[in-house]
Amino acid sequence: MIPVRGYDGAIVAVLGMGLSGRAAAQALQAGGAHVVVWDDGQAGRDLAQTAGYALRDLTKAVSYDGVAALIVSPGIAHLYPAPHPAIAAAWAAGVPVDNDIGLFFRSFATDDWDGFETTPRVVAVTGSNGKSTTSALIHHILAESGRPAQLAGNIGRGVLDIAPARDGEVVVLELSSYQTDLARALTPDVAVLTNLSPDHLDRHAGHGGYFAAKRRLFAEGGPDRAVIGVDENEGRYLANQLAQGVGDDRVVLVSSGQKLTEAAWSVFARKGFLSEYRHGRQVGSIDLRAIAGLPGAHNHQNACAAYAVCRTLGLGPRAIEAAMQSYPGLPHRSQLVADRGGVRFVNDSKATNVDSAAKALQAFARIRWICGGLQKEGGLDGLLPHLAQVAKAYVIGREAADFARQLPGVPTEVCTTMARAVALAAAEAEPGDVVLLAPAAASFDQYDNFEQRGADFITCVGAAVAGQSD
């Protein structure tokens, strides 16, 4: 745990008793703060009381008497589409609003570091797609190379729940737009933007607000190194804003598909090969095609970003390549579930938006595509250029029929349930086919989260494969 500094003896309020809220409350208490909490749900309030925290209805203005700060969990809207009543009440009372990311950056460095031989570093990864894989891959490479490292943030472990830094340690944080948007302190040593595509637009009042939330990691943070995906205009704009000129190698450009040989420092992948260039000269390369844990161009972009980060941290190309070979991949992200009779079953339940699903579709030659769910803003037009590889779509979700109608020229089957979709796809698949779950939609119409949807896919694949063996 990282004890929060700066609030010893002060009253600090925590809104939301989810994973990050609980970790924040514990870390504040460890740092000497008097913690009061509130949760909109009765279950959260019961959990807080069981843990011994004082409950205080933070939606009421009087609740902020004597409160030094309000710490907000990332799932709670703080501005758009409307501020949570507790946040509005804190504003009215003049109480600073922060989140666990802000607390982490103000508390991570301690006087103990004066005795370290090598100062700990923080790598922060954000973007629309691939940030989990990029973060996990960086952590894996560091660990395989013998560097002490911890992984936290949006990937599942609260940032304040990690252990205090060791000598020379690297902390890798995956940060969502919700987290970067509100944090009052953002000071990573290395900051990464993987890519940008429309997502969470209601929380940011549109695409511009969404980009602005991501951009804060670089504009507010002032990282020593910035690794920027430049396959979209926003990335190109950000890289241009950060670099002082064509020779500025503090900004590393990353691409999947573009050849970037003129930049001061670039890492790009083309036709399955990663190349590193510095000042117009190639200094490293990796054949990514045989790395099972990183299939497809979208994962090659993730590999480029992770490679660039590890190079800025002093690792050599061959050490990075060796570690990539053993990378197992993340659950629900291009996860190979089964390979039976020449048919592969791949779980990409994390492909919750059109852009991430399009990237998944480009990774395989012939696809039995399981898709559908709670559609996001913008429709499915972004998928249309990438449907040539789809032999058939098996559509799930409450809006399955409407989803299917938006896939012109693709044979579709309205299945509604995962069990029927997997069973039918497995029965109709031919050797060489990939049965791919890449929903291009949120899961909340049928599941609590994308993990639960992916787990259901895995269960259904197991049943289908077992049935074929009988």
Is residue 128 marked as binding? yes
Q: In the chain, what are the domain boundaries?
A: 11-98, 109-325, 335-469
Mean pLDDT of 371-388: 91
CA distance 152 to 160: 9
pLDDT over 90 percentage in the chain: 87
Using pLDDT thresholds of 50, 70 and 90, give the confidence band for residue 470.
Answer: low
How far apart, in Å, are the Cα atoms of 178 and each of 85, 153, 188, 211, 260? 17, 11, 17, 11, 31
**Residue 333: predicted pLDDT:** 87
The answer on pLDDT for 117 being more than 90 is yes
Is residue 9 marked as binding? no
pTM: 0.86
Is residue 449 marked as binding? no
Using pLDDT thresholds of 50, 70 and 90, give the confidence band for residue 366.
Answer: very high
Mean pLDDT of 155-176: 94
CATH code linked to domain 109-325: 3.40.1190.10
Average pLDDT, the chain: 94
**Residue 467: predicted pLDDT:** 76
The answer on pLDDT for 447 being more than 90 is yes
**Residue 330: predicted pLDDT:** 84
Q: At what angle do helices 233-242 and 207-219 cross, to 10 degrees?
A: 30
Q: Is 184 helix (H, G, I), strand (E, B) or coil?
A: coil
Q: Are 160 and 26 spatial neighbours (Cβ–Cβ below 8 Å)? A: yes
Is residue 18 marked as binding? no
**Residue 339: predicted pLDDT:** 93
Is residue 214 marked as binding? no
- Among residues 87, 66, 64, 81, the alpha carbon closest in space to that of 16 is found at 87
pLDDT over 70 percentage in the chain: 99
The answer on pLDDT for 29 being more than 70 is yes
Mean pLDDT of 270-290: 95
Which residues share a beta bridge with 257? Answer: none
Q: At what angle do helices 131-144 and 296-312 cross, to 10 degrees?
A: 50
How far apart, in Å, are the Cα atoms of 279 and each of 246, 256, 260, 265, 270? 9, 19, 10, 6, 19
CA distance 353 to 347: 15
**Residue 58: predicted pLDDT:** 97
**Residue 175: predicted pLDDT:** 97
The answer on pLDDT for 168 being more than 80 is yes
CATH class of 11-98: alpha beta
Mean pLDDT of 253-259: 95
Residue labelled with tokens 């970037």: 260
Using pLDDT thresholds of 50, 70 and 90, give the confidence band for residue 430.
Answer: very high
Q: What is the DSSP code string of 432-470?
A: T-EEEE--SSBSTTT-SSHHHHHHHHHHHHHHHHHHHH-
Is residue 130 marked as binding? yes
The answer on pLDDT for 200 being more than 80 is no
Position 360: which residue type?
Answer: A
Q: Which fold has domain 335-469?
A: Protein-Tyrosine Phosphatase; Chain A (3.90.190)
Is residue 132 marked as binding? yes
Using pLDDT thresholds of 50, 70 and 90, give the confidence band for residue 469.
Answer: low
Mean pLDDT of 441-459: 96
User: Per residue in 283-303, pLDDT tens?
Assistant: 999 999 989 889 888 899 999
